[in-house]
Amino acid sequence: MAPVTALGEEMHALVERLYPLCRSITGDGVRATLAIVDEYIPLQVHEVPTGTRVLDWTVPQEWNIRDAYIADATGRRVVDFAASNLHVLGYSTPVSATMSLDELRPHLHTLPDQPALVPYRTSYYKPQWGFCLAQDTLDALPDGAYQVCIDSTLADGHLTYAEHVVPGQVADEVIVSCHVCHPSLANDNLAGIAVAVFLARRLAEQTPYYTYRFLFAPGTIGAITWLARNAEQIERVKHGLVLACAGDRGQLTYKQSRNGDAEIDRVMRHVLHTSQRPHTVREFTPYGYDERQFCSPGFDLGVGSLSRTPYAGYPEYHTSADDLDFVCAEALADTLAVCGEAFAVLDRNRRYVNLSPYGEPQLGRRGLYDSLGGRSDAKQAEMAMLWVLNYADGEQSLLDIAERSRLPFEAVAAAAGALRDAGLIKA
């Protein structure tokens, strides 16, 4: 893993700023999150009204919360939303009542196997209310009367999502998606947002070939809403990557697209393998993050998912232990670096045609051999030129050639550039 960098620390600082906000699939927490992201990269924010039909779904009512607690007979808050927004079941309907502990128990959610941790739970589409707390806290509560308050609203409003576009040389797009619907979960949510933000800033400093569209949307319903509103232009999306769980100390994990042979799949496999980073490549499954929406059979886009330890693969997942200490600057910087390396390959992966295909052209006469003098990788560079010349048939891409030759993509791309400049190949 790369050493701690100033960039990694900046990304962690963004995670820290976003961590206290109470996010959900709708509401002011999402808007506040996007307002902070907008300080880093300009966003186009979209508000989609409650009741809007989006594919087979309907935009739900908007949920907002101001306060929530369980207080004992002395008025002491034994569970307090102000201490952690995980304490409230997401989308809880309002309640104000006094009840016994036995009456309260059906509304309490704990993790008996992890008794010190608070779970993250939601009820988006079934109106109910509840609290999440540590099993240790629940075990310590005496019988008696408790005051229960959830000061929330569930009313017609909007679903909010945002886009940021980095213009490219062509209109064809790469979509980079992350979810903005989880409350204080630093890895499963905020790390992906941070990597996306800094990746967008890095690409904006370049002149990318593809246009890169960054999507910041609530999970599932947000991606479905975006797809519904962009279905007529979906053919512009040529590649895509979903970012999640991007900041823990585990090794990198890439989940392939539905077909497993999309160009982004091949690029990610090549980059992870040649970089010699510890990693895992997983087959597609119709469960996980929003890659399953982009890869649904009607769209069947070439979209994979990059994480470190995958969802539900670490004990801190969807608990209060997914905190600021669980995410580290080194991992954030490393995930960003991998994305940068992958998109550098994707952006330069072209097909070329050999303009001198009858026999091997004389490279020395064109100064191509002389340009290699003194280079430590001269032999590799020479071999890369020969491989490109032989397979520049208009059908094989540079990635095809790199995989076939077992040479690094960088060497093959550099060889193609030199041969193109010498007039021996053309795109």
- 318 carries a ligand binding annotation: yes
- Distance, in Å, from the CA atom of 413 to the CA atom of 418, rounded to the nearest integer, reads 9
Neighbours of 255 (CB within 10 A): 26
- 182 carries a ligand binding annotation: yes
Q: Which phi and psi (to 5°) does residue 263 adopt?
A: -60, -35
Of 136, 68, 72, which is closest to residue 100 (Cα–Cα)?
72
**How is residue 333 written in tokens?**
């910087």
- Distance, in Å, from the CA atom of 381 to the CA atom of 396, rounded to the nearest integer, reads 19
- Distance, in Å, from the CA atom of 190 to the CA atom of 377, rounded to the nearest integer, reads 41
Q: Which phi and psi (to 5°) does residue 213 adopt?
A: -110, 120
- Distance, in Å, from the CA atom of 359 to the CA atom of 339, rounded to the nearest integer, reads 39
Q: State which H helix or E strand residue 425 sits in.
A: strand 425-426
- Distance, in Å, from the CA atom of 148 to the CA atom of 160, rounded to the nearest integer, reads 30
* Residues belonging to the chain: 427
- 164 carries a ligand binding annotation: no
- Distance, in Å, from the CA atom of 278 to the CA atom of 199, rounded to the nearest integer, reads 22
Q: How far is CA 14 from CA 8, 186, 403, in A?
A: 10, 10, 38
- Distance, in Å, from the CA atom of 82 to the CA atom of 130, rounded to the nearest integer, reads 15
- Distance, in Å, from the CA atom of 391 to the CA atom of 10, rounded to the nearest integer, reads 43
- Distance, in Å, from the CA atom of 146 to the CA atom of 72, rounded to the nearest integer, reads 5
Annotated binding site: 182, 188, 318
Annotated binding site for Zn(2+): 182, 188, 318
